[in-house]
Amino acid sequence: MPSALAELNQWVDDVARHVRCDRVHWCDGSEDEARLLEARMLESGELLRLNPESHPGCVLHRSDPDDVARVEHLTFVCTREEADAGPNNHWMDPVAAHAKMDALFAGAMQGRTLYVVPYCMGPIDSPLARCGVELTDSPYVVANMRLMTRMGSAALARIEREGRFVRGLHSTGELDPERRFIMHFPEELTIKSYGSGYGGNALLGKKCHALRIASHQARQEGWLAEHMLIVGVENPRGQTHYIAAAFPSACGKTNLAMLIPPDGYARDGWKVWTVGDDICWMSPGEDGRLWAINPEAGYFGVAPGTSGRTNPNAMAMLQRDAIFTNVAVDADGRPWWEGLDGEPALDWQGRPIAEGRPAAHPNARFTVSARQCPTLSPQVEEPRGVPISAIVFGGRRPSLMPLVFEARDWAHGVLVGASMGSETTAAAAGDVGVMRRDPMAMKPFCGYHFGDYWAHWLSFDRPGAKLPRIFHVNWFRRDADGDFLWPGFGDNMRVLEWILRRVDGEVGVVETPIGGLPRVDDLDMHGLAMDASTLETLLAVDLDGWRREIDDIGEYLDGFAPRVPPRLEAERRRIREALDAA
């Protein structure tokens, strides 16, 4: 039986012949290699050097204007049986999909270098980590993968030990939107991406591997691959609880993961530790708890909206050795986007600033190593991960959803996650501001049928399990004038404190048909200028609105029949009956 490295070498040779590349470069992840690739990209104009005094080591990449976001309508899950992909995914027959992609890749890398990028998702020695190899013709992708994964020689050594890896093949092609496809073959642990250089479509370790392929692996192997941040909250007694939280893209995940507590909390000794800002892999431990790792080694964050006011920790880590994509620049060559002080000079396409169009693209990004995060948790490389005390779901809802409520039990929590809704953002191509269901924030990322996915979640509720409590939050409630009712950002600490006091059994709840809400006196509002009526609105339960909501949820779940777990529909009916009784 051939070794994993023999299989890898054979695959690389086969691909190199098919794409007719000029040369093959095996990436070792070294500093020397990174500097050489950067120099070549600066020379070619693929990267631009930013102000070396204010932002040493920082560079700017400008995408093709037609290649600036994930393309969900061109992203496919290719399982042998269409039903296994589910209505939540676009499906293509694997044989047809391979044929389509192989035709696109034929001769696609003439005049280019084929880079072989071995990488590990997760701490290199973690039993929950998984390895992959991306073959790409984009040095920009290589530079990003070096920051986002454990890339290079150590990953290659683990692949040799384990004998398995996810195969990812990528080419920017001609960047033609009509010849752009991202194909996933979960049963083969294979990804093929063509025609895009945007991170979510091209950094195959990220959404493609760490969510779409990994979610399929996780179901087979008994763990969870989730679109969640992981944050540690340390109380004044020195105890740290870890929270996993799911929010759709561009809804404040990075801000929450790097939250700075309000002054009063900081004086009292509260601390926040960042484990991860986007992806969470969880597995049951011997003690019955869910233990989690962040499979990524860096942050690929949304720049607009990130500022000294909203996320000082992110701004601190972006002062050096970062890759900026589609941001504007000011007259001194410093990165700029909406939300920062100062004035831009050139927009994200390198054009003079013009009234009526954004300077930075709304989905402009930064890529930076997690090692530069001021609040990085000392547990981030712990092989077994961190124990999860609470799971939080949240979307961008301008009305109906209270500031926070707790699910009654695990089944209710799974329904809360399965029915989560949010306004769409600029992270995906299409309309912005449209309310859609986004279960567990996994609508674009679950690699199989949602009905089976929810059943997998429910399967963790078994004897001996010590499962996290589940909560739902909504930072985005608005008043009649369209203004946010809750200040958000650092003040979200007040909600996290209540959640952790619930975990520790220190406070009770107001029981309602939709779940347990805080008693007003149990939320620490000290130092927050908010009148009682506003807080009352934030914690109100609109019974008529919730009856419509729970009926809408029923119609949504019906779209995944007959694979919706009966326990989930029974939970929905229980809530509907409680609402009627109220």
What are the residue numbers of the active site? 251
- What one-character DSSP code corresponds to residue 380? T
Please indicate if the annotation marks 45 as binding a ligand: no
Instruction: Specify whether the CB–CB gap between 165 and 4 falls below 8 A.
Output: yes
Please indicate if the annotation marks 363 as binding a ligand: yes
Please indicate if the annotation marks 249 as binding a ligand: yes
Neighbours of 289 (CB within 10 A): 17
Please indicate if the annotation marks 384 as binding a ligand: no
Q: Which residues contact 503 (CB under 8 A, 6 or more apart)?
A: 241, 389, 390, 469
Instruction: Specify whether the CB–CB gap between 472 and 420 falls below 8 A.
Output: yes
Please indicate if the annotation marks 364 as binding a ligand: yes
Alpha carbons 136 and 170: distance in angstroms, whole number: 5
- What one-character DSSP code corresponds to residue 478? B
Please indicate if the annotation marks 200 as binding a ligand: yes
Alpha carbons 213 and 205: distance in angstroms, whole number: 10
Please indicate if the annotation marks 73 as binding a ligand: no
Please indicate if the annotation marks 63 as binding a ligand: no
Please indicate if the annotation marks 206 as binding a ligand: no
Instruction: Return the half-sphere exposure (C-beta side, CA atoms, 13 A cut-off) of residue 308.
Output: 5
Alpha carbons 191 and 202: distance in angstroms, whole number: 10
Alpha carbons 551 and 33: distance in angstroms, whole number: 56
Please indicate if the annotation marks 356 as binding a ligand: no
Strand ranges (E), 380-433: 386-394, 404-406, 421-423
The CA-atom distances, in angstroms, between 427 and each of 280, 299, 459, 531 are: 19, 15, 31, 35
Please indicate if the annotation marks 560 as binding a ligand: no
Q: Which tokens sit at 384? A: 């077994």
Of 259, 307, 256, 308, the C-alpha closest to 278 is 256
**Phi, psi (degrees; rounded to nearest 5) at 482:** 85, 5
**Phi, psi (degrees; rounded to nearest 5) at 184:** -120, 135
- What one-character DSSP code corresponds to residue 321? S
Alpha carbons 257 and 375: distance in angstroms, whole number: 9
Alpha carbons 24 and 132: distance in angstroms, whole number: 18
Alpha carbons 293 and 447: distance in angstroms, whole number: 20
Please indicate if the annotation marks 505 as binding a ligand: no
Instruction: Specify whether the CB–CB gap between 361 and 326 falls below 8 A.
Output: yes
Give residue for tokens 């990436």.
Answer: 27
Neighbours of 17 (CB within 10 A): 9
Please indicate if the annotation marks 57 as binding a ligand: no
**Phi, psi (degrees; rounded to nearest 5) at 179:** -125, 50
Instruction: Specify whether the CB–CB gap between 455 and 563 falls below 8 A.
Output: yes
Helix (H, G, I), strand (E, B) or coil at 55: coil
Q: Which tokens sit at 353? A: 């600033």
Please indicate if the annotation marks 184 as binding a ligand: no
Alpha carbons 521 and 499: distance in angstroms, whole number: 14
Please indicate if the annotation marks 254 as binding a ligand: yes
Cα 443 to the center of its chain, rounded Å: 12
Instruction: Specify whether the CB–CB gap between 521 and 498 falls below 8 A.
Output: no
Please indicate if the annotation marks 27 as binding a ligand: no
Of 78, 84, 82, the C-alpha closest to 100 is 78
Please indicate if the annotation marks 227 as binding a ligand: yes
Please indicate if the annotation marks 476 as binding a ligand: no
Q: Please calculate the CA angle 439-221-116 and round it to the nearest 5 degrees.
A: 90
Q: Which residues are annotated as a binding site?
A: 70, 198-200, 207, 227, 249-255, 278, 363-365, 396, 489-492
List the binding residues for substrate. Answer: 70, 198-200, 249, 363-365
Binding residues for GTP: 250-255, 365, 396, 489-492
Q: Per the annotation, where are the binding residues for Mn(2+)?
A: 207, 227, 278
